[in-house]
Amino acid sequence: MSEPTSDSLPDPLARIAGLPGVSDAVAETRALVDKLLGHRILRRRSSDVSMESSLRGACASAALEGAEVSMDEIRDGHVYDTRIKGALRVSSELGTLVDTWPKAPRQALARMHTLVAADAVAGDALGRPRMAGERVEDPLELGPAPEPAVALARLEGLYALLGARTSVPALVTSALVHGELMSIRPFGWGDGLVARAAERLTLVERGLDPKSLVTSELGHQTLKDEYAPALRGYMGGTPEGVAAWVVYCCRAVRAGAQDSLATCEALKRG
């Protein structure tokens, strides 16, 4: 009997894509994102929408870490909190990581953490997984994180999934990336900022949102009362919990797309 080839092996994400409720949530979200991508204002001002989405996403992601900052303060350059500075840095550089993400996810993730935590942790901790005894921040109160050796093994599994060929929707892959990074909390500081940036990067790289218009981070802030409970369900590992997490992430992306549609309409009105 011949050995199975990589093309004949089952898609490891297909089972998740087939869970109850997932396909409907993906289809509904895809329809709204397509509506956003087809907005007439993008013919002239897609870069403006992308920039606004980047700023609003960074502000929302930092707020989920406990930072208190307004969009007016960000636009005026009055930013002092390490969390918002890190969120802005990683948001501004996501475009440079699109090609690296599927080919060298370890390198891309290390870069994201370096950008996020540059002002917050010691230089030798930037971009490397946490070690035994190092503190793990838990702003969402998810509970204890896995031991470093377990976290590292799960990271390797995530890297393998990102490098594999998959036919599942980008929304499923991005939800898994987000959920795994939040479950693992690989770095100990800034993991939420990294996880939400990685989710957005996956949506861009996998083609759902190629111009990075969707403010997915703001979607999570909009649904913040559901965010941690959905994550705990995912961390439980049951099919129901994983399905509910993917459906929740689809809703967050829809909320982010709706926010960007509002930006398009505002630009259209002048």
Q: What is the pLDDT of residues 227-250, one digit of tens each?
A: 999 999 999 999 999 999 999 999
The pLDDT value recorded for residue 6 is 41
Q: Where are the domains of the chain?
A: 13-67+78-269
CA distance 145 to 129: 13
Q: What is the pLDDT of residues 40-84, one digit of tens each?
A: 999 999 999 999 999 999 999 999 999 988 888 888 888 889 999
Nearest CA among 132, 128, 136, 126 for reference residue 149: 132
Those residues whose C-beta lies under 8 Å from the C-beta of residue 134, and which sit 6 or more positions away, are 125, 148, 188
144 vs 226, 238, 241, CA distance in Å?
Answer: 19, 19, 18
Other beta carbons within 10 Å of 68: 10
Q: How do the pLDDT tens digits run along the chain, 270 residues long?
A: 333 334 444 677 899 999 999 999 999 999 999 999 999 999 999 999 999 999 999 999 999 999 988 888 888 888 889 999 999 999 999 999 999 999 999 999 999 999 999 999 999 999 999 999 999 999 999 999 999 999 999 999 999 988 887 889 999 999 999 999 999 999 999 999 999 999 999 999 999 999 999 999 999 999 999 999 999 999 999 999 999 999 999 999 999 999 999 999 999 997
CA distance 58 to 189: 16
Q: Which two tokens stand for residue 19?
A: 């869970």
Q: Which two tokens stand for residue 216?
A: 């997915």
Those residues whose C-beta lies under 8 Å from the C-beta of residue 107, and which sit 6 or more positions away, are 100
DSSP assignment of 250-264:
HHHHHHHHHHHHHHH
The pLDDT value recorded for residue 76 is 85
Task: Report the CATH fold assignment for 13-67+78-269.
Answer: Fic-like fold (1.10.3290)
DSSP assignment of 89-142:
HHHHHGGGGTTHHHH-HHHHHHHHHHHHHTTTS-GGGTTS---TT-----TT--
Nearest CA among 96, 142, 136 for reference residue 115: 96
pTM for the structure as a whole? 0.94
Those residues whose C-beta lies under 8 Å from the C-beta of residue 141, and which sit 6 or more positions away, are 228
23 vs 77, 135, 209, CA distance in Å?
Answer: 42, 38, 18
142 vs 145, 167, 236, CA distance in Å?
Answer: 8, 31, 11
Nearest CA among 187, 174, 56, 57 for reference residue 112: 187
Asked if 60 contacts 197 with a C-beta cutoff of 8 angstroms, the reply is no
Considering only the C-alpha atoms of the chain, give the largest distance between any 2 of them, rounded to a whole number of Å. 67
Mean of all residue pLDDT scores within the chain: 93
**Cα end-to-end distance, the chain, whole Å:** 67
